[in-house]
Chain A
Amino acid sequence: MPKRDDLKKILIIGSGPIVIGQACEFDYSGSQACKALREEGYEVILVNSNPATIMTDPEMAHRTYIEPLTPEFLTKIIARERPDALLPTLGGQTGLNLAVFLSKDGVLDKYGVEIIGANAETIARAEDRKLFKDAMQEIGVAVPQSGIARSVEEAMEIGERIDFPLILRPAFTMGGSGGSIAYNIKELKEFAVKGIEASPIGEVLIEQSVMGWKEVEFEVLRDCEDNVVIVTSMENIDPMGIHTGDSIVVAPAQTLSASEYNHLVALSKKIIRKIDVSGGGANVQLGVNPDNGDVVVIEVNPRVSRSSALASKATGFPIAYVATKLAVGYRLDEVKNQITGRTSSFFEPALDYCVSKIPRFTFEKFRDAVPNLNTSMKSVGETMSIGRTFKESFQKGLRSLEIGRAGFGADGKDLKEFKEELKDIKQNLRIPTDKRIFYVKYALEKGMTVDEIHELSKIDSWFLDNMKEIIEIEKKLLGYRIGEDKTITLPYELLLEAKKAGFSDKQIAYIIGSHELAIREYRKSLGIKANFKLVDTCAGEFNCERPYYYSTYDAADENRISDRKKIIILGGGPNRIGQGIEFDYCCVHASFALREEGYESIMINSNPETVSTDYDTSDKLYFEPLTREDVLNIIEAEEPDGIIVQFGGQTPLSLAVPLEEVGVKILGTSPDSIDMAENRERFNDLLSELNLIKPENDTGTSPEEAKAIARRIGYPVLVRPSYVLGGRAMQIVYDEKELEFYMKTAVEASSDHPVLVEKFLEDAIEVDVDAVADGESVLIGGIMEHIEEAGIHSGDSACVMPPMSLTDETIQRIRENTNALAKALNVKGLMNIQYAVRNDVIYVLEVNPRASRTIPFISKAIRVPLAKIATKVMLGKTLKELGLTEEIHIEHVAVKEAVFPFNRFPGVDAILGPEMKSTGEVMGIDTSFGRAFAKSQLAAGEKLPLKGAVFISVKNHDKRSVIYIAKKLIDLGFSIVATKGTARVLRQNDVEVQEVFKLHEGRPHVIDLLKNGDINLIINTTSGRGAVGDDRQIRNYAVMHGIPLVTTISGASATVNGIENLLRRDFKVKTIQEYHSLIQV
């Protein structure tokens, strides 16, 4: 059937900010959807609040709204655009939920908008727990025993019916948010409350636990004429009970027999037909009892998902692209298979390799969080690796994770000491944490059998035995430890066996006591080198046009090396806090720029969620770990004209020096300049040469030295290890005692580098500047003023451009400083500078001659794709040639706000500081600061109240500034609640205030009010040591229960400004293209 021509204009909903459970996979799928629809001549309207996406680039859709993803704003956009259809299946759970809401609310009917991809009934059948259960029962597919609770009483009733443990799954939430496992009545009660709150419709499914079963997933596509294909199976190594997003997953499934596999395929096809996805895709999650083969269906997502992104990258089948074509009426056989270039999309990929997906956790950022894995997703990113065997892909995946591991242990990082050896190990196998897989290694090393480990961990013995094989090879290698003369005596066969099992040179070097590069030289001398094979969707059956590549140690090399001019871009690896989608955005732009300039663009990345690993973003894609060894393999094969390391964040940047050492040409700013900016001493020298100032600082290698420095420059000080990402282990300390504590815990953060102690500037305004320089001229992309004061990590602070409170003179001086620094560092490409302004003095906090997190935000605000421009500059173009010498001035106001994962980590204090904690960002754009800020808050999911009570508890230092805020709130109709200290100050200043007890003073106290729903907004700033006592409990409660919380005074004042604008209710929506058209050049 050809495409539908009754549709002209189609609205796509994006997924908003990156949060745990909903990451950049939806940028990848949304971008594919835009492409798929534009090719067909449809007019594409896109809504997404996340500026760091490729999909919101102005050329992706015809009209792009960077507006909050709320029913109110969607309604305004629909009223303005009058689309014929809405495609909600590409924006994750957010997109789907919005579509359901708009449908139920009658908005779609009112404006005559049809939902395509999955209609409202289909969505309901998959998402509504009762309808789903009924549908499955009708086709004879088992579901875990369950009941639906809308109240605690109902939950307790179900608890009596079904045996513990029980799984609680709130309806219409993503990434298992609010989900939990209850082992007893008490927990059931507690978790039922949370679950009902987490569900937007106040409904939670309570079901029989199938913990310990195998978790298997199928990606299924179905067209309007009932043709169905299975794209791939995937098997979770971690058993049921651990969220699939937190599980190590392999594709295809490894431990299902043919008869089980065929049975599950048949079930999946039956299920998608029953759910009635018509013209789209679904993810089917099944539980399989490993002891008897019983099968239950866990859930079905009638949309593209994290799993479908993984399935796409694992197989080469572009699910989102094809699903979009199906949504507009095409049949599967009418859509071409882009990878082979000759077959149609009605096919099921055949794999001849094994894919491992390994989640990336960031518990190190949330020290108080319990790192246990369960049904609520906690990982922030993932890597995907490809090998010819599981052993190979598993080890490649582990070394891609950026957790300092070189593979499955054997890298000097294995735990050598345990509290109570076997007990400790067994405990970690039984109760899985982010380190569980390494405990499997320890268990094997301590002589536990595969069966014993299986009993405790429920990991299938096939995987465990493969891990055991890896350890056996390690033991064999150990027999060849080098002696005095440093000669390597590894036999060819063993070395090849190790490389085929995925061992990195680094691991082998560690095992035999040699050096990584020595191993490399040695194995090359034996003729053992990485060969490249293809992801071609067909296991080699056909010769294909657009494959991508992975390395392996099989005999034959299939790499197709062109003789074109070519540049390699190093991607960012797995997403984690501090290194997210923004860097992938920059890499993608670099690739586009290379292609525009006639170069062959070659991408190396290991992150399956991204646009950069889409098969057609670059001319060539290598799905490989970003380590020196793996990158060198590619460089040796490709012999590129240069390599770009500045766009992928810290991961590739840290490879700059090791790669340059072996003679690789790094494009753009030289590694020496990068070093000058990062090396404290060289940087201090540079600043004094330029007459610029920096807060006083020094480095210390011992606690004593650090204390001496701090005494000299005066508390408070900012301490951190040098060379860190996202402010890792960075802290403001207010006295010696805190410093001592910090020194004890921070040494671990970076052992090779000393600790930096820097004067902390209290109450300074922080300013971020992004610029492009070509060696001659400098283009300032944007000057952004932070809303939160200096001391809050720039990634966590909201910011506004153009600056709101800086004087013209200060801005001019910032410009001059930026120019001077760019020239002094001889920057060729992007640079980011962080300044602090206090009492008209401008301090330089940091200079990063590379892509920054704010590049996409600024590019969206000013219409100039800075990363693309920077790439062209790195290739030798001048800014003059590119016609970009004048700073762009905008008439509108753009606000960036950060989004936090605190609700995923019960017990973690939601206070902001110099260590970055946010996972994503949104953009609010409008004609005034208040409106733009209000939009940014709505987009970030903050439900700012329009009336009610505001609880204020601020540190002494803020008491004076909060008076104005409180008065303003009263003017807006709010009442104020405060504890003794703050209440007294407010009353003295004629602010009417209701005093409330602190927790230890009596009842009802603050938490009682919160629990009763009597508080609608919390303004809570803490002094120095922060996180103590009442305040912390209040914040915890607020975060877990979604009560808006502001922890800085500047944030509070912006919030009040935002509320004032919300009350006016006169928001307008406008496309980014319209804002851009008003920019004067």
Chain B
Amino acid sequence: MKAFLVLEDGTVFKGTPFGALGERLGTVVFNTGVVGYEKILTDPACKGNIIVMTYPLIGNYGVNHKDLESETCHGTALVVRDLSRNSSNFRAEEGLNDFLKRCGVIGIANVDTRALTIHIRENGEMRGIIVTVPNDTETIDIDSLLSKIRSYNPVLSGEIEGERFNIKKSGNSNLHVVAIDLGVQRSSLQQFERLGCYVTLVPAGTKARDIIDMEPDGIFISSGPEDETLITKVAEELKPLLGKKPIFGIGTGNLVLGCALRGRIKRMKCGHRGANYAVKNIENGRLDITLQNHGYVLDENSLPYENVQITWGNLVDGTIEGISANNIRAFSLQYIPNTMERGTVSKGFKEFKEELLKSKAIGITERDGDACAKER
């Protein structure tokens, strides 16, 4: 059996199929994380992505379902250099091959993923298609595949993990967070759990007043797939909420808050996808290595307002990694601050909780929209 990856510019990579069989379209992106394939595949932000792992040895430790970021895979296909046939870990519940099969994700192995990565780096993230063919002699019709690619125009609507992922109010949780679910990761929800907050997940289209009716202490905008239309739509609904309750966004949530504060987003040639992105706090110079998975950023020229601060910047390309409108207690981070360390909570989530407590105690005094009142 063979599998082919065809890119929209006509480049073809050949490999060996694994996981599900058939045909999958998607945007070809590369991820530089050495571990975490199961988290990446199940991160809803990867919806519609054909994921290329730059690390060549994938599947080594199998899959444990507790480690997943959502119920199922969201990437459409996985491209690897070498698939491990052995899952060696005491927590492994199944192998990557079986997992992909179950989730309907096509895998393609024995691809020169470094060459593919460099191609994407030089030419930008682009659409592509993966097809598997049953026997080695069969050829593929490139032209028909290319036309499929050209007519592929994914709508990347937000995901809903559903109500069962709400975190119920319990003895020690007395802060209520409404989370706008653009494709929330379980590890984000875990952060709230550890903070003692209870969470109501609402779909991306939820109206502002419905959110207010839920009487939240604060609003969280999750990460998720980056659909320009959806981001704009959610941002519009967020505008009336600015200044009413503390707001915290991560990943795509950062883009949404930025847009709600009248900023603009732009697509990067190549996204930030991996676990080693260096960011710097503009105010205090603090440095951090972060997990990221995004292909859009906020345009740094689109937020010229006195009360909107760029709080974090990328150390390599200078892109916006975080913004804050302090006077209305709204802030967000482009990177994913979910800590992977057992039982701990990251600074970003902790700061949000402090905002929740403060606003609960003294309320928010600034009025709606003031953040954007004055240009710098």
List the interface of chain A (C-beta within 8 A of B). 225, 227, 229-230, 252, 254-263, 265-267, 290-293, 331-333, 342-344, 346-354, 388-390, 450, 460-462, 465-466, 469, 533, 538-543, 554-556, 558
Contact A346 B340 (CB under 8 A): no
Cα–Cα distance between A460 and B342 once the two chains are bound (Å): 24
Q: Which residues of B contact A256 (CB under 8 A)?
A: 35, 61, 89
Say yes or no: A293-B90 contact (C-beta < 8 A), given A252-B34, A255-B61.
yes
Sorting the interface of chain B by its residue count into under 10, 10 to 19, 20 to 34 or 35 or more gives 35 or more
Contact B88 A343 (CB under 8 A): no
The segment from B113-121, B163-171, B353-361 that touches chain A is B113-121
Cα–Cα distance between A259 and B32 once the two chains are bound (Å): 17
A297 nearest CB across to chain B (Å): 15
Contact B121 A543 (CB under 8 A): yes
Cα–Cα distance between A338 and B290 once the two chains are bound (Å): 22
Cα–Cα distance between A389 and B60 once the two chains are bound (Å): 12
Q: Of all chain B residues, which has the CB nearest A493? A: B136
The segment from B77-85, B247-255, B321-329 that touches chain A is B77-85
A39 nearest CB across to chain B (Å): 22
Contact B38 A343 (CB under 8 A): no
Contact B315 A343 (CB under 8 A): yes
- B268 on the interface (CB 8 Å rule)? no
Q: Which residues of A contact B90 (CB under 8 A)?
A: 290-293
Could you list some 29 contacts between A and B, CB below 8 A? A255-B88, A256-B35, A256-B61, A257-B64, A257-B91, A258-B33, A258-B37, A258-B67, A259-B91, A261-B35, A262-B35, A265-B340, A266-B342, A333-B315, A343-B315, A344-B315, A347-B289, A350-B32, A354-B56, A354-B57, A388-B82, A460-B88, A461-B86, A462-B88, A539-B32, A539-B54, A541-B121, A541-B270, A558-B118
Say yes or no: A257-B67 contact (C-beta < 8 A), given A539-B117, A555-B112.
yes
A784 nearest CB across to chain B (Å): 50
Cα–Cα distance between A292 and B89 once the two chains are bound (Å): 9
Q: Which residues of B contact A542 (CB under 8 A)?
A: 121, 316
Contact A262 B341 (CB under 8 A): yes
Q: Which residues of B contact A469 (CB under 8 A)?
A: 85
Contact with A along B297-334 (1 / 0, CB 8 A): 00000000000000000011000000000000000000
Q: B59-114: which residues lie under 8 A (CB-CB) from chain A?
A: 60-62, 64, 66-67, 81-82, 84-86, 88-92, 112-114
Which of these, A260, A333, A390, contacts B287 with CB under 8 Å? Answer: A333
Q: Which residues of A contact B92 (CB under 8 A)?
A: 257
Contact B117 A352 (CB under 8 A): yes
A608 nearest CB across to chain B (Å): 20
Q: Of all chain A residues, which has the CB nearest B66? A: A259
Say yes or no: A346-B86 contact (C-beta < 8 A), given A254-B57, A540-B121.
no
Say yes or no: A346-B278 contact (C-beta < 8 A), given A262-B340, A533-B114, A555-B115.
yes
Which of these, B54, B57, B121, B286, contacts A350 with CB under 8 Å? Answer: B54
Contact B340 A255 (CB under 8 A): no
B290 nearest CB across to chain A (Å): 10
Contact B81 A346 (CB under 8 A): no
Q: Which residues of A contact B127 (CB under 8 A)?
A: none
Q: A342-B316, A352-B55 are in contact. List 7 more A-B contacts (CB 8 A).
A: A256-B61, A258-B35, A266-B341, A348-B276, A349-B276, A461-B88, A543-B121
Which of these, B35, B112, B287, contacts A257 with CB under 8 Å? Answer: B35
Q: Which residues of A contact B339 (CB under 8 A)?
A: 266
Cα–Cα distance between A346 and B341 once the two chains are bound (Å): 21
Say yes or no: A350-B34 contact (C-beta < 8 A), given A257-B64, A390-B57, A533-B114.
yes
Which of A258, A290, A462 lies at the interface centre, i.e. has the most chain B CB atoms within 10 A of its CB?
A258
Q: Which residues of A contact B289 (CB under 8 A)?
A: 229-230, 346-348
Cα–Cα distance between A256 and B62 once the two chains are bound (Å): 10
- B39 on the interface (CB 8 Å rule)? yes
Q: Which residues of A contact B88 (CB under 8 A)?
A: 255, 460-462, 465
B170 nearest CB across to chain A (Å): 24
Contact B121 A255 (CB under 8 A): no
Which of these, B54, B274, B285, B342, contacts A263 with CB under 8 Å? Answer: B342
Q: Of all chain A residues, which has the CB nearest B92? A: A257
Contact A343 B112 (CB under 8 A): no
Q: Of all chain B residues, which has the CB nearest A230? A: B289
Q: Which residues of B contact A466 (CB under 8 A)?
A: 86
- B24 on the interface (CB 8 Å rule)? no
Cα–Cα distance between A332 and B344 once the two chains are bound (Å): 25
Cα–Cα distance between A347 and B39 once the two chains are bound (Å): 22
- B280 on the interface (CB 8 Å rule)? yes
Contact A266 B344 (CB under 8 A): yes
Cα–Cα distance between A259 and B190 once the two chains are bound (Å): 14
Cα–Cα distance between A554 and B82 once the two chains are bound (Å): 11
Q: Of all chain B residues, which has the CB nearest A500? A: B110
Q: Which residues of B contact A541 (CB under 8 A)?
A: 30, 32, 54, 117, 121, 270, 274
- B36 on the interface (CB 8 Å rule)? yes
Contact with A along B35-55 (1 / 0, CB 8 A): 111110000000000000011
Contact B91 A539 (CB under 8 A): no
Cα–Cα distance between A555 and B15 once the two chains are bound (Å): 11
Contact B278 A293 (CB under 8 A): no
Q: Which residues of B contact A348 (CB under 8 A)?
A: 275-276, 278, 289
Which of A265, A333, A539, A554 lies at the interface centre, i.e. has the most chain B CB atoms within 10 A of its CB?
A539
Cα–Cα distance between A266 and B86 once the two chains are bound (Å): 27
Q: Which residues of A contact B121 (CB under 8 A)?
A: 540-543
Contact B287 A227 (CB under 8 A): yes
Which of these, B39, B342, B344, contacts A258 with CB under 8 Å? Answer: B39
Q: Which residues of B contact A225 (CB under 8 A)?
A: 285-286
Q: Which residues of A contact B287 (CB under 8 A)?
A: 227, 331-333, 346
Contact A389 B81 (CB under 8 A): yes
Q: Which residues of A contact B32 (CB under 8 A)?
A: 350, 352, 538-539, 541
Q: Of all chain B residues, which has the CB nearest A254? A: B60
Q: Which residues of A contact B114 (CB under 8 A)?
A: 352, 388, 533, 539-540, 554, 556, 558
Cα–Cα distance between A265 and B289 once the two chains are bound (Å): 12
Q: Of all chain B residues, which has the CB nearest A465? A: B86
Q: Which residues of B contact A344 (CB under 8 A)?
A: 278, 315-316
Q: Of all chain A residues, which has the CB nearest B63? A: A257
Cα–Cα distance between A498 and B198 once the two chains are bound (Å): 55
Q: Of all chain B residues, which has the CB nearest A353? A: B56
Contact B55 A539 (CB under 8 A): yes
A43 nearest CB across to chain B (Å): 30
Q: Which residues of A contact B112 (CB under 8 A)?
A: 554-556
Q: Which residues of B contact A262 (CB under 8 A)?
A: 35, 340-341
Contact B91 A293 (CB under 8 A): yes
A180 nearest CB across to chain B (Å): 30
Q: Of all chain A residues, which has the CB nearest B64? A: A257
A895 nearest CB across to chain B (Å): 50
Cα–Cα distance between A862 and B187 once the two chains are bound (Å): 65
Q: Which residues of B contact A331 (CB under 8 A)?
A: 285, 287
B219 nearest CB across to chain A (Å): 28
Which of B38, B86, B339 lies at the interface centre, i.e. has the most chain A CB atoms within 10 A of its CB?
B86
B3 nearest CB across to chain A (Å): 15
Contact A257 B115 (CB under 8 A): no
Contact B118 A540 (CB under 8 A): yes
Q: B240-290: which residues lie under 8 A (CB-CB) from chain A?
A: 270, 274-276, 278, 280, 285-287, 289
A387 nearest CB across to chain B (Å): 9
Q: Which residues of B contact A342 (CB under 8 A)?
A: 316
Q: Which residues of A contact B118 (CB under 8 A)?
A: 540, 556, 558
B359 nearest CB across to chain A (Å): 30
Q: Which residues of A contact B35 (CB under 8 A)?
A: 256-258, 261-262
Cα–Cα distance between A349 and B289 once the two chains are bound (Å): 11
Which of these, A227, A346, A350, contacts B274 with CB under 8 Å? Answer: A350
B122 nearest CB across to chain A (Å): 8
Cα–Cα distance between A355 and B85 once the two chains are bound (Å): 20
Q: Which residues of A contact B91 (CB under 8 A)?
A: 257, 259, 293
Which of B60, B85, B285, B286 lies at the interface centre, i.e. has the most chain A CB atoms within 10 A of its CB?
B60
Cα–Cα distance between A554 and B121 once the two chains are bound (Å): 18
Say yes or no: A257-B117 contact (C-beta < 8 A), given A263-B340, A388-B81.
no
